[in-house]
Amino acid sequence: MSHAADNQAQTPVRRRAGFGWLAGLLWVLLGLTAIATAFAATTACGLSIPGLPSAIDFCPPPDEGPDDRERQLVQLEVREEALRQRLDSLQLTLADAPYCPMPERDEPIQTAEVPPPPEEPEEEVVEEVEEPVEVVEEPVEEIEEPVEIVEVPVEPVEPPPGMVMVPPQAPTAPPRPAPPPEPVVVAEVTPPPAPPQPQPQPVASPPPPQPEPPPPQPVVAPPPPEPLEACPPPPSDEVILVLDTSSSMEWPFALDPGFEARLWQTAFDRSSQGRRQFQAMLEEMERMPGADRIDVARQSLIQLVNNAPGDIDLGLVIFNQCGRTAPGRTYGPGQRPSLISRIRNAGTDDSTALGEALGVARSMIQGGRTPEEPVNLVLVSDGRDSCGADPCSIARALKAEFPYLYIHVIALTSQVEPLRCVANATGGELIMPQNAAALAAALRRASGQSDLPEHCQ
């Protein structure tokens, strides 16, 4: 029993000792595998298992050297040059090929709208054709009708300069893709017009307001030409001087016109108050500065005689008191000193016998009846006739008898109305000098001794 037991106890121990060598062998194999793996890692850049991707890849790719990159660049340049030569050959071939235009259709073909292919969707080109539609004021019902789609043939377009048309490929080449459908022009058919409706009569719209014309520019008239100077009396070989020596000629030459008007008003007032007022005004006038009228007249007449031409006769009539006018006298060129003496010694007195003096001058006139013998009568006075005569009537009578007689009045007063008619009746001039120089010039003009303007010659 003990041996059997011992044998049974020893049997499993023996089995364990039998599998021990297997374990040692396994460990040996694992060691060899590790050694092989390490060797592979040191000699290779990766470890791969058949049927599986690389399991281990720990080696970096080798760097390409400069020679490899240059070699690749040269290969690329060679390929590029070959492609360029091929492209030039294709362009020459295409340029030599004849151009085949698309056939033209005589009539448009009605076709249904072709949807674009799903691979390359393209937008249809639709041209809307507008037709004139009569516009009416009333609303028009819209009638929906099917629309015919008309395909309009497309005109062939020649390639612009510089563009190369690609010829069809050789039969050996793969088939060209189908060209996209031609654009279809859809013409929209205008619905038929509605039945004619009674159109309202058009209301004529008022014409647009015309713009107001600009206001006319004021026409600026050119300034009127300066009036020509009146022609002086014609030169005459016969001149008669008629000098007024009434008491009023002793008044100041530059007497105020207003004062003179009041003085004449009081001179004809016969009342005692009027006489006193007149006397007071005379006394006031005597105190006024300036030369008297008679003094200025004497000096101007003497100057006229001295400057008169040597081939004319000068007559002289001096008047003052009524009925006492002395006969006139004509002085030749050699008698002028006597004429000057009489003018210088002429005294003053009351009254003004103007009409009587014109009658005396009539007896002295030698010519005056023809244009070749004009007569200039120069009257120097400051007042109206105080002896009851009518100087205007006498002047008209003288003009009727002597058509070429001219009476020129030198008025030394502002009260000229009684003297104006004498000058007007005979076609003479009325001159009102304002100073001694103007009086001398007036005497030369009235006697016909002033220079004639060009338009009067």
CA–CA separation, 410 and 447 (whole Å): 11
261 and 312 assigned to the same domain: no
Is residue 45 a part of any domain in this protein? no
Domain count along the chain: 2
Is residue 62 a part of any domain in this protein? no
CATH of the domain at 317: 3.40.50.410
297 and 285 assigned to the same domain: no
* Angle at alpha carbon of residue 65, lines to 63 and 67, rounded to 5°: 155
310 and 381 assigned to the same domain: yes
Contact 440, 410 (CB under 8 A): no
363 and 427 assigned to the same domain: yes
Is residue 326 a part of any domain in this protein? yes
Is residue 232 a part of any domain in this protein? no
267 and 381 assigned to the same domain: no
283 and 390 assigned to the same domain: no
For 310, other C-beta atoms within 10 Å of its C-beta total 8
305 and 336 assigned to the same domain: yes
246 and 260 assigned to the same domain: no
Is residue 95 a part of any domain in this protein? no
CA–CA separation, 255 and 384 (whole Å): 17
Q: Which long-range contacts (CB under 8 A, 24 or more apart) does 448-454 make?
A: 448/232, 448/233, 448/234, 448/235, 448/236, 448/239, 448/374, 448/376, 449/235, 449/304, 449/307, 449/308, 449/309, 450/232, 452/231, 452/232, 453/228, 453/229, 453/231
Is residue 405 a part of any domain in this protein? yes
DSSP 229: P
Per-residue pLDDT tens, the chain, 457 aa: give them. Answer: 444 444 444 444 444 445 667 777 888 888 888 887 776 655 555 545 555 445 455 455 555 556 778 888 889 989 998 998 888 888 888 777 666 666 555 555 455 455 555 565 455 544 554 555 454 455 445 445 554 544 544 454 454 454 444 444 444 455 565 555 555 444 454 555 666 666 666 666 667 777 777 777 777 777 777 777 778 888 888 999 999 999 999 999 999 999 998 988 888 888 889 899 989 999 998 899 999 999 999 999 999 999 999 889 999 999 999 999 999 999 999 999 999 999 999 999 989 999 999 999 999 999 999 999 999 999 999 988 999 999 999 999 999 999 999 999 999 998 888 899 999 999 999 999 999 999 999 999 999 888 777 777 6
Check residue 15 and give its pLDDT.
47
pTM for the structure as a whole: 0.52
Domain housing 281: 255-289
Is residue 433 a part of any domain in this protein? yes
**H-type alpha helices, 44-149:** 66-96
326 and 247 assigned to the same domain: yes
Q: Return left, alpha or beta for 435; rule: phi > 0 is left, psi -120 to 50 is alpha, else beta.
A: beta
For the chain, what is the radius of gyration of the CA atoms?
Answer: 74
By CB atoms closer than 10 A (0-12, 13-18, 19+), residue 172 is exposed
324 and 350 assigned to the same domain: yes
CA–CA separation, 195 and 269 (whole Å): 113
285 and 431 assigned to the same domain: no
Check residue 100 and give its pLDDT.
62
Is residue 82 a part of any domain in this protein? no
Check residue 383 and give its pLDDT.
83
Contact 413, 296 (CB under 8 A): no
384 and 322 assigned to the same domain: yes
